[in-house]
């Protein structure tokens, strides 16, 4: 009986956490990225679930690498989840970007320690999503590049 329990525990798998997608901005100036309005929608629905304003009072901090702004400090509200559709509004740039139809791969992880009840952290990977209606690949680890 003990050997059956040991085999069951050693094969235990658990699902990884939902992915959270961050973004990088290509071709945006610092001023254009200073204020970003993020609208979140239920999937395939036009009613706004909620929205977040990122501005100097509630910033997303970026570091510039050539023509690309990389998110380096931000709240969790700036991360996108596959359960929703999004619009990012850049008022200074006059640009609205829609991000929809995430294709997230559910991953699983086996427990390493047969006698531990704790789980090791793992996160799903988003393979692609639609940006302004066009399929776009997602870079590891869950980063999407948005062009001005």
- Degrees to nearest 5, angle at CA 139 with 47 and 72: 80
For the entire predicted model, the pTM comes to 0.82
Rg (CA), the chain: 19
pLDDT per residue over 44-69, tens digit each? 888 999 999 999 988 999 999 999 99
Is the Cβ–Cβ distance between 126 and 139 less than 8 Å? Answer: no
Is the Cβ–Cβ distance between 20 and 13 less than 8 Å? Answer: no
pLDDT of residue 114: 58
């Amino acid at each position: 009986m003990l050997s059956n329990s040991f085999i069951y525990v050693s094969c235990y798998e658990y699902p990884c956490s939902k992915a959270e997608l961050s973004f990088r901005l290509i071709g945006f100036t610092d001023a254009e990225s200073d204020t970003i309005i993020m609208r979140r929608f239920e999937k395939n629905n036009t009613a706004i679930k909620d929205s977040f304003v990122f501005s100097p009072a509630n910033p997303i901090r970026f570091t510039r690498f050539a023509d690309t702004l990389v998110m380096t400090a931000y709240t969790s509200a700036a991360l996108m989840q596959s359960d929703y559709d999004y619009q990012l509004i850049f008022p200074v740039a006059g640009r609205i970007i829609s991000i929809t139809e995430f294709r997230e791969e559910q991953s699983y992880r086996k427990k390493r320690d047969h006698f531990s009840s704790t789980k090791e952290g793992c996160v799903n990977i988003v393979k692609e999503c639609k940006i302004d209606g066009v399929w776009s690949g997602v870079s590891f680890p869950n980063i999407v590049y948005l062009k001005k």
